[in-house]
Chain A
Amino acid sequence: MEAVVVDAGSKLLKAGFAVPDHPPSMIIPTQMKCLPADESSTDASLHEIIVDPVIRGFISDWDAMEDLLDHVLYNGLGWEIGNEGQILFADPLSTPKAAREQLVQLMFERFNISGFYASDQAVLSLYAIGRISGCTVDIGHGKMDIATVIEGAVQQISSRRFELGGLDLTNLLAQELGKSYPLVNLSISDVEQIKEQYACCAEDDDAYEKLQLSCPEEQHTLPDGQVIKIGRERYTVGEALFQPSILGLQAHGVVEQLVHCISTVSSENHRQLLENTVLCGGTASMSGFEDRFQKEASLCSSAIRPCVVKPPEYMPENLSKFSAWVGGAIIAKVVFPQNQHVTKADYDETGPSIVHRKCY
Chain B
Amino acid sequence: MSWQTYVDDHLMCDIEGHEGHRLAAAAIIGHDGSVWAQSATFPQFKPDEINGITTDFNEPGHLAPTGLHLGGTKYMVIQGEAGAVIRGKKGSGGITIKKTGQALVFGIYEEPVTPGQCNMVVERLGDYLIDQGL
Residues of A within 8 A of B (CB): 97, 150-151, 153-157, 264, 266, 338-340, 356-360
Given contacts A151-B76, A266-B67, contact A157 B61 (CB under 8 A): yes
Closest to A341 in B: B116
Instruction: Please state if B79 and A360 are interface contacts (CB–CB under 8 Å).
Output: yes
Given contacts A151-B76, A153-B89, A358-B116, contact A266 B123 (CB under 8 A): no
Give 1 or 0 for each of B108-128: 1 = CB within 8 Å of chain A CB.
Answer: 000000111101100100000
Closest to B66 in A: A266
Interfacial chain B residues near A358, Cβ < 8 Å: 116, 119-120
Instruction: Please state if B76 and A360 are interface contacts (CB–CB under 8 Å).
Output: no
Interfacial chain B residues near A151, Cβ < 8 Å: 76, 89, 91
Instruction: Please state if B65 and A357 are interface contacts (CB–CB under 8 Å).
Output: no
B59 an interface residue at 8 Å Cβ cutoff?
no
Instruction: Please state if A264 and B119 are interface contacts (CB–CB under 8 Å).
Output: no
CB-CB contacts below 8 Å: B75-134 with A: 76, 78-79, 81, 85, 87, 89, 91, 114-117, 119-120, 123
Minimum CB–CB distance for A250 against chain B, Å:
25
Closest to A152 in B: B89
Closest to B67 in A: A266
Known: A150-B76, A266-B66. 4 other contacts (CB 8 A): A153-B89, A156-B61, A340-B114, A357-B119
Minimum CB–CB distance for A92 against chain B, Å:
14
Minimum CB–CB distance for B96 against chain A, Å:
9
Interfacial chain B residues near A97, Cβ < 8 Å: 81
Given contacts A339-B17, A340-B114, A360-B115, contact A266 B65 (CB under 8 A): yes
Interfacial chain B residues near A157, Cβ < 8 Å: 61, 64-65
Interfacial chain B residues near A339, Cβ < 8 Å: 17
Minimum CB–CB distance for A262 against chain B, Å:
13
Interfacial chain A residues near B119, Cβ < 8 Å: 357-358
Interfacial chain B residues near A356, Cβ < 8 Å: 81, 85
Given contacts A264-B65, A266-B65, A357-B123, contact A153 B116 (CB under 8 A): no
